[in-house]
Structure 1
Amino acid sequence: MNSKCVVMFLLTLSLTVSPLPGQMDRGTINGTVKDASGGVLSGVEIKATNQNTGLQTTTLSNDVGDYRLLRMTVGTYRIAFSLPGFKTFERTDFNVSVGQVHRLDVRLEIGEVSDSVIVSANSEMLSENALVSTTLQNEVITDLPISFSGGRIAENFAFAVTPGVEGDNWESFMGGGQAFSKEVLIDGISASAQIQGNFLETPASMEAIQEFKVQTSGMSAEYGRTSGGVFSYALKSGTNDFHGSLLHYGRNEALNANTWMNNWNLADDPHNPRYKRARDREVLWGGSAGGPIYIPGLYKGRDRSFFFFAVEHDKREDYELGTLDRTVPLPAFLDGDFSALLDTTKTVGTDALGRPVYSGQIYNPATLRQEGGKWVSDPFPGNIIPKSQISPASARIADLFRKQYPPSVNRLTNNNAGTATNSPWFRLTQYTMKGDHQLS
């Protein structure tokens, strides 16, 4: 596979003045505000502050005490409810997930606004979604072991831990749907190729994923273009603190055991270098960095403007031989010597002159003639074609076979093995860049 350099650039504008329709990459918080006796409260100010970025979203409860915070970016929030004559109620560490509708009902106590009741959201939060889904947070994605074959692929988690999801990152089946029918979203933007359900070039970088959600059924109308479920990726954003990460993974055949097939072949040919441990190397490195946009003397982006950047590079060489299921000519055959095929102890018939025809015997077409009204020709002596009868074109082809397709074992059939993988040489570089800015 040729080297690939994939650049994903997403610019997210967090608009708090008016919510936009659709929230495939965002979350929603609904609820009702009441007083201690159960009466609904209108005009309550609800302010949700992202605990990592300081970005705020505000709204007011309506005449029946209901409120709704729309298009909330994925993250952890502090939500404050305030109304004159009542104590301020704060809910901290409230996690908002991609595509999820969360419910938070609150009762305010009579008192001064300056007095606060603070509750940490360690308890399980309610959801109003009817959809069936599995959500994996960044901690799970980065901490659990995953396959490194061809790079780190978060999608592999879905096939391992999500009920109703089967297949692999090429062909998958979700909730009983047909293959190639799922939708793939990165921050709400479709990332499917012409083959539905497959990424345009590569999945999102593992270092850039904040949350990964698999929706198998019960999707709302905004997902109407898919009949096979949705894979939703929410990418990380910069925060008010500079942060980053580094990773490195390595594999080398020097640390591997030899294959069973190679050991079996070494028993017959112990000095053949082809049966040593196959070249099996992979080096994967990467990292990420994010924080507020800061230009000395010009701009401080704290609580307003943020950046995030991630890169991953995967280099793999896997030349392990497969099974001996191919047949190539022996070196003697390429020189015209087919004596190994001739078995003079086994007669398969007679020719027109009554001469015996032996198993594996080849005949010289230059001696073809008619005798007694029948066509006959003479066998090559010793089953060897003279070099003078091998054309230059055939000799060139024989040289190519001699250099590129030597037999792995000294036998007539099933004497050659190809590589065990379709792409023994693999290069992949992923770049992810994201910017967030709040207009107010």
Structure 2
Amino acid sequence: MFAHSRPSPIATLAPASPFTVIRPHRGEPDGTRNSGRRPPFTVPLTALTLWPGERTRDASLEKRRQVMRFKCVVMFLLTLCLTVSPLPGQMDRGTINGTVKDTSGGVLAGVEITATNQNTGLQTTTLSNDVGDYRLLAMPVGTYRIAFSLTGFKTFERTNFDVSVGQVHRLDVRLDIGEVSDSVVVSANSELLSENALVSTTLQNEVITDLPITFSGGRIAEGFAFAVTPGVEGDSWESFMGGGQAFSKEVLIDGISATAQIQGNFLETPASMEAIQEFKVQTSGMSAEYGRTSGGVFSYALKSGTNDFHGSLLYYGRNEALNANTWMNNWNQSQDPTNPRYKRARDREFLWGGSAGGPIFIPGLYNGRDRSFFFFAIEHDNRETYRLGTTDRTVPLPAFLDGDFSALLDTSKTVGTDALGRPVYSGQIYNPATLRQEGGKWVSDPFPGNIIPKSQISPASAKIADLFR
């Protein structure tokens, strides 16, 4: 018998099948100690008793297991979202370089230069070398605050310094003698780009969104390039830059080539204008890093989230009810008011979109300010427009597929006579097998009733006719 006391059971089950018991290593029911493992033995199960304490422990254990599983799933998802892979070789960034000197013109070595993105808080730090030169590489497009500090000199700060895509910026600085805690702050002004002979035009997002839109098939940033950039002609399908060939330019999105099938064609997969931070057109003087083009480069730098939540919404609508009818339609309608052909042609287009961005923030769990951000943009265009089509393309009638062209024959209209003096009617077709010369002139006989006998329809023509059935 068991020597342990138990509370009263709450349920008793009595299955008929036996069950297997595995003896424990220690603590036999009779209080003896095992010297080793013993083989299991089988006994008939006559009663299974559930005790209240055992049920409570099982429920608590299951709850802890559920919490642990939930934590594992959350950590796995966060790992997927926050893992970043480097992409070397991208050309979507800018460079800042220059020389640091004192007020007498002597170069300063060991000056700490810190560039801080004013929107995201991202910091890039470097030191000036023995001749006072410094270089900040791979700077994401944006507005920066650049600080220069050295013991024994006042800290110099340059604010609102814009870094453009694919551009080398030069910033030379002179430090005044004083305490490091003292600072001289200078707001950005127009700079002279003298680092290379690059010929380019850069458009910021504010300029793109403020310019008038010639609306047709959605907003495409490339359309602005052909309007404001000297030496660039064409459209989003076929463009010419600096006298170069068509389909020879390179299109880069955040430094990655966007070429899909045709070189330089960005018409089918353009980036939403709400997602473009900066758009740059380089027409000549490109450096060796642009090795996939002979006709210029279109570079797009996309937006990212910042420390502040921000977004935008847009809508554009066009409807024929808001348009004036054509003069000819108005005149024809005055002559035939019941004819619906003279109403305004269907002309509808609807564009909607928006964007949203900011820091990744989960209340009580994670604050991504200065560390991680999100950005999302969408733009959709829908058009319903009637346009004039070509008049030389038709679809055959069912009778035509069997060689019956009698519907085309109009015996009331005579367009002339043949070499034998026979009248030639409108829509009449002739049998090429009867082509001959009569009196030095070529003549052939028309098909009776404008119907081609099936025996004269070639197998190739029959195959073509079957495509329309």
Q: TM-score if structure 2 supplies the norm length?
A: 0.68
Contact 1:72–1:96 under 8 Å retained in 2? yes
- Cα distance in 1 for partners of 2:392, 2:74 equals 40
Contact 1:104–1:126 under 8 Å retained in 2? no
Using the TM superposition, give the Cα deviation of residue 147 of structure 1 relative to its aligned residue in structure 2, in angstroms. Answer: 2.5
Using the TM superposition, give the Cα deviation of residue 192 of structure 1 relative to its aligned residue in structure 2, in angstroms. Answer: 1.0
Deviations 1:151-182 (A, max 9, x none): 10000011111111111101111111111111
Residue equivalent to 1:134? 201
- Cα distance in 1 for partners of 2:392, 2:345 equals 18
Contact 1:16–1:56 under 8 Å retained in 2? no
Of the structure 1 ranges 74-83 and 271-280, higher mean CA displacement relative to structure 2 is found in 271-280
Of the structure 1 ranges 190-199 and 120-129, higher mean CA displacement relative to structure 2 is found in 120-129
Q: 1:85 to 1:12 in 2, by over 3 A?
A: farther
**Which is greater in Rg?**
2
Contact 2:414–2:426 under 8 Å retained in 1? yes
Q: 1:389 to 1:120 in 2, by over 3 A?
A: closer
Of the structure 1 ranges 23-32 and 13-22, higher mean CA displacement relative to structure 2 is found in 13-22
Contact 2:110–2:130 under 8 Å retained in 1? yes
Contact 1:50–1:77 under 8 Å retained in 2? yes
Deviations 1:311-360 (A, max 9, x none): 11111111133586778999999999999988989878889999877677
Q: TM-score if structure 1 supplies the norm length?
A: 0.73
Q: 1:16 to 1:37 in 2, by over 3 A?
A: farther
Pick from 339, 345, 354 the counterpart of residue 412 of structure 2: 345
Using the TM superposition, give the Cα deviation of residue 275 of structure 1 relative to its aligned residue in structure 2, in angstroms. Answer: 3.0
SS for the counterpart of 1:176 is coil
Contact 1:186–1:235 under 8 Å retained in 2? yes
Of the structure 1 ranges 294-303 and 350-359, higher mean CA displacement relative to structure 2 is found in 350-359
Listed as ranges, the gaps of 5+ residues in structure 2 are: 1-67
Q: 1:290 to 1:2 in 2, by over 3 A?
A: same
Contact 2:282–2:296 under 8 Å retained in 1? yes
Query: How many corresponding residue pairs?
Result: 401
Of the structure 1 ranges 322-331 and 384-393, higher mean CA displacement relative to structure 2 is found in 384-393
- Cα distance in 2 for partners of 1:221, 1:302 equals 37
Pick from 8, 18, 33 the counterpart of residue 100 of structure 2: 33
SS for the counterpart of 2:467 is helix
Q: 1:344 to 1:102 in 2, by over 3 A?
A: closer
Using the TM superposition, give the Cα deviation of residue 199 of structure 1 relative to its aligned residue in structure 2, in angstroms. Answer: 2.7
Contact 1:31–1:67 under 8 Å retained in 2? yes
Using the TM superposition, give the Cα deviation of residue 12 of structure 1 relative to its aligned residue in structure 2, in angstroms. Answer: 16
Q: 1:344 to 1:285 in 2, by over 3 A?
A: closer
Contact 2:237–2:267 under 8 Å retained in 1? no
Decide which structure has greater strand share: 1
- Cα distance in 1 for partners of 2:295, 2:71 equals 29
Q: 1:274 to 1:338 in 2, by over 3 A?
A: farther
Residue equivalent to 1:368? 435
Contact 2:237–2:266 under 8 Å retained in 1? no
Q: 1:149 to 1:377 in 2, by over 3 A?
A: closer
Contact 2:90–2:254 under 8 Å retained in 1? no
- Cα distance in 1 for partners of 2:72, 2:251 equals 20
- Cα distance in 1 for partners of 2:256, 2:269 equals 14
Using the TM superposition, give the Cα deviation of residue 184 of structure 1 relative to its aligned residue in structure 2, in angstroms. Answer: 0.4
Q: 1:148 to 1:347 in 2, by over 3 A?
A: closer
- Cα distance in 2 for partners of 1:274, 1:89 equals 73
Using the TM superposition, give the Cα deviation of residue 71 of structure 1 relative to its aligned residue in structure 2, in angstroms. Answer: 0.7
Q: 1:116 to 1:15 in 2, by over 3 A?
A: farther
Contact 2:253–2:302 under 8 Å retained in 1? yes
Q: 1:109 to 1:340 in 2, by over 3 A?
A: same
Using the TM superposition, give the Cα deviation of residue 276 of structure 1 relative to its aligned residue in structure 2, in angstroms. Answer: 1.7
Contact 1:24–1:188 under 8 Å retained in 2? yes
Using the TM superposition, give the Cα deviation of residue 201 of structure 1 relative to its aligned residue in structure 2, in angstroms. Answer: 3.6
Q: Does 1 or 2 have the higher relative contact order (CA < 8 Å, sep 6+)?
A: 1
Using the TM superposition, give the Cα deviation of residue 145 of structure 1 relative to its aligned residue in structure 2, in angstroms. Answer: 1.2
Q: 1:279 to 1:111 in 2, by over 3 A?
A: same
- Cα distance in 2 for partners of 1:137, 1:272 equals 51
Of the structure 1 ranges 345-354 and 210-219, higher mean CA displacement relative to structure 2 is found in 345-354
Contact 1:193–1:200 under 8 Å retained in 2? no
Using the TM superposition, give the Cα deviation of residue 2 of structure 1 relative to its aligned residue in structure 2, in angstroms. Answer: 44
Pick from 34, 49, 52 the counterpart of residue 119 of structure 2: 52
Q: 1:219 to 1:389 in 2, by over 3 A?
A: closer
Using the TM superposition, give the Cα deviation of residue 130 of structure 1 relative to its aligned residue in structure 2, in angstroms. Answer: 1.7
Contact 1:240–1:303 under 8 Å retained in 2? yes
Residue equivalent to 1:8? 75
SS for the counterpart of 2:334 is helix
Contact 1:165–1:174 under 8 Å retained in 2? yes
- Cα distance in 1 for partners of 2:169, 2:400 equals 74
Pick from 424, 430, 439 the counterpart of residue 357 of structure 1: 424
- Cα distance in 2 for partners of 1:219, 1:9 equals 44
